[in-house]
Structure 1
Amino acid sequence: MWKAYDELAWTEAWLEDPQGVEEEVATYHRLMEEHARRPVREVLHLGCGAGAHDRALKRHFSLTGVDLNNAMLRLARRANPEVEYHQGDMRSVRLGRQFDAVVIPDSIDYMASRDDLVLAFETARHHLRPGGALLVVTKPRELFHDNNFAYVGERDGIHVTLLENNHVLPPGDEQYEAVLVFLIRQGGELDVQVDHHRLGLFTQAAWEQTFRDQGLELHQQDLEGIYEPFMIAEGEYPMRLFIGVAPGSD
Structure 2
Amino acid sequence: MTSPWIAYNDLAWVDDWLAEPEDYEREAAVYVELMQRAATSGLGREPRTLLHLGCGAGGHDREFKRHFAITGVDLSPGMLDMARARHPEVEYLEDDMRFVRLNRRFDAVVIPDCIDYMTTPDELRQAVRTAVEHLHPDGVLLVVGKPAETFQDNNFAYTGEKDGVHVTLLENNYVNPYRPDTYEAALFYLIRRGGDLTIHTDHHVLGLFPQATWDQIFQEAGLAMRQEVLDGVYDKYLLNDGAYPMTIFVGQKS
TM bucket by the smaller chain?
Answer: over 0.9
Match of 1:95 in 2: 102
Classify the secondary structure of the residue corresponding to 1:7: coil
**Pairing partner for 1:216 from 220, 223, 227:** 223
RMSD over aligned Cα atoms? 1.0
Secondary structure, in 3 states, of the residue corresponding to 1:55?
helix
Task: Please tell me the residue identity of whatever aligns with 2:129.
Answer: E
Q: Which residue of 2 aligns with 1:35?
A: 38
- The size of the alignment, in residue pairs, is 247
Unmatched runs of 5 consecutive residues or more in structure 2 = none
Assess if the C-alpha contact under 8 Å between 1:14 and 1:155 holds in 2. yes
Please, which of 15, 20, 26 is the counterpart of residue 18 of structure 2? 15
Equivalent residue letter for 1:186:
R
Match of 1:195 among 193, 202, 217: 202
1:142 aligns with 2:149: yes
Kindly provide the amino acid, as one letter, of the partner of residue 123 in structure 2. Answer: D
My pick for the range that moved more, 110-119 or 162-171, is 162-171
How many angstroms apart in 2 are the aligned matches of 1:100 and 1:22? 21
Structure 1 moving runs of 4+ over 3 Å:
none
- 2-side partners of 1:176 and 1:61: how far apart? 33
Q: Which amino acid aligns with 1:122?
A: R
2:134 maps to 127
TM-score by length of 2: 0.95
Contact 2:155-2:242 at 8 Å conserved across structures: no
2 CA distance for matches of 1:6 and 1:138?
Answer: 23
Q: What is the alpha-carbon distance in structure 1 between the residues aligned to residue 205 and residue 149 of structure 2?
A: 18
**Superposition deviation, residue 16 in structure 1:** 1.1
Give yes or no for contact 2:17–2:161 (8 Å, CA) kept in 1.
Answer: yes
2:158 pairs with one of 122, 140, 151: 151
Deviation at 1:171, TM superposition (A): 7.8
Task: Compute the displacement of 1:242 (Å).
Answer: 0.1
Alpha-carbon separation, structure 1, partners of 2:139 and 2:119:
26
Q: Deviation string for 1:12-45 (max 9, x for gaps)?
A: 1111132221111111111111112123000000
State the match for 2:234 in structure 1.
227
Equivalence for 1:2: 5
From 114, 117, 135, the equivalent of 1:107 is 114
Identity among equivalent pairs (%): 55
* Distance in structure 2 (CA, Å) of the matches to 1:172 and 1:125: 29
With the length of structure 1 as denominator, give the TM-score of the two structures: 0.96
